Amino acid sequence: MGPDMLRGDELIGCGSSYDGDSQQSSRGWENQGPVWRSCYEFSAAASQLKRAEATKGDSKQVDDILALWRKRSELAKRIVEAAAPKIEDVVLKVAMTASLLLEGDVRVGLTPQCLEECDRALAQKGEGEQCLKALESELWALCERVEHQTAALEARWDCAEESEEVGGPNDARAGFSLARAWNELNESIWSVARYETMTPVGLRAKGTMFRDLLALVGAMDGLSALQESYLRDFDHLAYRHLYGKDSPMPRRSVG
């Protein structure tokens, strides 16, 4: 997560100092949307877990800690699944999702629901369908390369499977060809992840690429980088959407 990304606990104003028994701390959150409530509950559970781990001793405490870890995991999933109807909700959800990915609480934060919410949050009235090639030609070229290499990888996968069924000296050659195609695709995805998109159209292209590749190459490290890149770029675009295109993005420490 880059230095500009908001930390979720900073957004909701609670962290290790939260007192789970304080009615004053929880007052007002009951009337907030599902994203805010889920983030608040997650932060409370995380703080409770931190205190429990600092004082663990007997077996009952160990059981309590395990239960808190399970609760933390459930609340992390709830954040990802929570509906975010307003752009402020999406900003918080994206920031918390980035934090959850960084901490290993979730593996996939860019669900179809999240992609749709981000797209809707950045939509401008009368924008119409805009062309990625015209707006961000470099990103368009990178996406084209990924598309071609994905097709090549699938073809070599089929070839490798056929070679295994037949057997013989071509097995090693097919395996080498598949590994090479995998590495080339991974590097190209990394190139897209390193690119900072400046338009909602470019962000949508990143999200579409992630969605389409997830089932095919879910374990690829380039895909994880692409997911983080999407969340980072949304953060920047949302800030400019809310405060104006010329507004400088504030530098924030992630601790």
Rounded CA gap, 163 and 141, in Å?
A: 33
**Considering the entire predicted model, what is its pTM?**
0.80
Q: Decide if 177 is inside a domain.
A: yes
Mean pLDDT of all residues in 25-50: 80
Q: Decide if 116 is inside a domain.
A: no
Q: Is the pLDDT of residue 238 over 90?
A: yes
Are residues 85 and 170 located together in one domain of the fold?
no
Q: Decide if 120 is inside a domain.
A: no
| 235, 4 contact by CB (below 8 A) | yes
Record the tokens describing residue 193, joined without a space.
Answer: 């992840």
State which of 106, 140, 158 marks the end of a domain: 106
Are residues 150 and 75 located together in one domain of the fold?
no
Per cent of the chain over pLDDT 70 is 73
Rounded CA gap, 206 and 88, in Å?
A: 21
How many folded domains does the chain comprise? 2
pLDDT digits (tens, 9 = 90+) for 152-197: 898 888 776 666 655 555 566 666 788 888 999 999 999 999 999 9
Q: Decide if 122 is inside a domain.
A: no
- Helices 87-103 and 34-54: crossing angle in degrees, nearest 10, is 30
pLDDT digits (tens, 9 = 90+) for 118-161: 999 998 765 556 799 999 999 999 999 999 999 989 888 877 66
- From the list 107, 111, 74, 103, the residue with the least C-alpha distance to 1 is 103
Could you tell me the residue range of the domain that residue 75 belongs to? Answer: 1-106
pLDDT digits (tens, 9 = 90+) for 198-232: 999 999 999 999 999 998 888 789 999 999 999 99
Rounded CA gap, 211 and 215, in Å?
A: 8
Burial 171-188 (b: 16+ CB within 10 A, else e): eeebeebbeebbeebbeb
